[in-house]
Chain A
Amino acid sequence: MPVKVVIPTPLRQYTGKKDSVEIEARTVGEALAGLTSRYSDLRKHLYNEEGKLRSFVNVYVNDEDIRFLQRDQTPLTETDVISIVPSIAGGSMIRCICS
Chain B
Amino acid sequence: MAIQLNAQQLQSIRSHAEREYPNECCGVLLGRADGAVKEVSEVVPLKNLRLDSARAQELLPLEDPGRESEKNRFLIDPLEQMMVEKDARSRELDVLGYYHSHPDHPARPSIYDRDHAWPWYSYIILSVERGKAAEMTSWVLSEDRAHFDPELMKP
Q: Is the CB of B106 within 8 A of A45?
A: no
Q: Is the CB of B109 within 8 A of A97?
A: yes
Q: Compute the total of residue contacts between A and B using a CB distance below 8 Å.
A: 118
Question: Interface on chain B toward A: helix, strand, loop, or mixed SS?
Answer: mixed
Q: Is the CB of A8 within 8 A of B95?
A: yes
A87: contacting residue among B60, B73, B95, B121, CB under 8 A:
B60
A88 to B123 Cα, complex, angstroms: 10
**Is A96's CB within 8 Å of the partner chain B?**
yes
**Is B26's CB within 8 Å of the partner chain A?**
yes
Interface 9-mer from A23-31, A57-65, A69-77? A57-65
Interface residues of B (CB under 8 A from A): 24, 26, 28, 33, 59-61, 68, 72-76, 78-79, 81-82, 85, 89, 94-96, 98, 100, 102-103, 105-106, 108-114, 116-121, 123, 139, 142, 147-150
7 inter-chain pairs at a CB distance below 8 angstroms, sorted by A residue, are A87-B59, A88-B76, A90-B123, A91-B73, A91-B74, A91-B100, A91-B113
